[in-house]
Amino acid sequence: MNDDRETYCRDVESYLCRKNDGHLVRIVGPAFEQVCGWAARGVPLKVVCRGIDRYFERYYAKGPRRRPVRIEFCEADVLDVFDQWRRAVGVGAAASAAGISGDDGGKEVRPRASLPAHLERVVARLTALRAGDERGWLDGAIDASVRELDAARAGAKSLRGERREALVTRLRELDRRLVEAARAGCDPAVVARLRDEADEQLGAFRPRMTEEAYRQSQQACIDRLIRDYFKLPMITFE
């Protein structure tokens, strides 16, 4: 177990150093215990990296960087992304039964974007994806999504009540269709590799889950990994 924690921390440290343009920021002392705590909660390494990415996005947005980022600064984002991951793959109940919490300890978490801003960002990312030759077979699904989202964002700011909820529901459906299209065209060898990765990510939760619940979480996790593999944006508005 100690070797596993050491490897986990060193992997996080390596990723943090790459994000800091190669500047070495060691994870030792209290920072080491903090990251070990993430490992104990079952936070997948990719989730940690996504949380680090989120912090860096805000850091870059503030202007020129002044000093290397330490892992302690990223904890609120890591735990926020972890909480989103747990809800998405359906391991919240298993985590509670195991005493695993995604609570951020009261730290401030970045507020979500408005619905119009979300739509604008998704359209921009999908439009950029169409330029990639390696995803040519996905162009049809991407084009259909862009057309509908582009039309929706024009009036999204004024939507209220049932009309707003209807759009949010439609976004979930568009998101599901896009991921299904990506999965349908994905190389079987890639799907098999992502299934193994999903099993690894869910390893901390599996003992507390029924077989049916695990299979559902496994499929949801594979879908998220497929999204990451093809760099698909999240159309769903959370």
pTM of the model: 0.73
Distance CA 153, CA 155 (A): 5
Distance CA 191, CA 105 (A): 36
pLDDT tens for residues 132-182?
A: 555 667 888 899 999 999 998 888 888 888 989 999 999 999 999 999 999
Distance CA 195, CA 186 (A): 13
Q: For 238, how many CA atoms within 13 A lie in the half-sphere containing its CB?
A: 12
DSSP 22: T
Instruction: Judge whether 194 and 226 are in contact, CB under 8 Å.
Output: yes
Instruction: Judge whether 185 and 229 are in contact, CB under 8 Å.
Output: no
CB count in 10 Å sphere of residue 39: 20
**What was the pLDDT predicted at 86?**
92
Cα–Cα distances (Å) from 101 to 82, 97, 169, in that order, read: 10, 10, 28
How buried is residue 147: exposed, middle or buried, by Cβ count under 10 Å (0-12/13-18/19+)?
A: exposed
**What was the pLDDT predicted at 132?**
59
**What was the pLDDT predicted at 200?**
92
Low-confidence ranges of the chain (pLDDT < 70): 1-3, 65, 92-112, 131-136
**What was the pLDDT predicted at 204?**
87
**What was the pLDDT predicted at 94?**
52
SS3 sequence, 113-159? CCHHHHHHHHHHHHHHHCCCHHHHHHHHHHHHHHHHHHHHHHHHHHC
